[in-house]
Amino acid sequence: MYEWIKAFHVIAIISWMAGMLYLPRLFVYHCDAEIGSKQSETFKIMERRLFKAIINPAMMIAWGLGLYMMWERQWYAVGWFQGKLALVILMSAVHGYFARRVRDFAADRNVMSQKFYRIINEVVTALMIGIVILVIVKPF
């Protein structure tokens, strides 16, 4: 049963990361759209649906299955896992920040630039790389 749980955990992670990498790109393009335009309203729908239908459920499934595996294998005391957990908590914080940005765009209150969203997209990438390295290589 453990292998099935791990497989669904990986599927959830892939879905979560796909959304977390795509959402900031939508934000970049949304910055160019004139407030109230059809294009801006379309971006609002895309951002909301991506966040609520894919990113949120994927994160919750990833966390739930990940915590189960941590408990099952008693990884909470292992160094590589503690590092991974710290990075996943940071990724979850970025996720929460993105939730706020989706709400701000929906209310036409975005104050961030395209450049900011391009940079934060790289933060997600760096966290993902760190997590994968810790899980696969287990350096400590």
Q: In the prediction, which pLDDT does 93 show?
A: 98
**Which tens digit of pLDDT belongs to each residue from 67-126?**
999 999 999 999 999 999 999 999 999 999 999 999 999 999 999 999 999 999 999 999
**Which tens digit of pLDDT belongs to each residue from 16-42?**
999 999 999 999 999 999 999 999 999
Contacts of 30 (CB under 8 A, 6+ apart): 40, 43, 44, 47, 105, 110
Whole-angstrom Cα distance, residue 27 to residue 49?
14
Strands (E), 39-92: none
Contacts of 66 (CB under 8 A, 6+ apart): 9, 88
What's the chain's average pLDDT? 97
Residue 84 tokens, joined: 């991974």
Q: Are 125 and 29 in contact (CB under 8 A)?
A: no
Q: In the prediction, which pLDDT does 20 show?
A: 98
Contacts of 46 (CB under 8 A, 6+ apart): 26
This prediction's pTM: 0.95
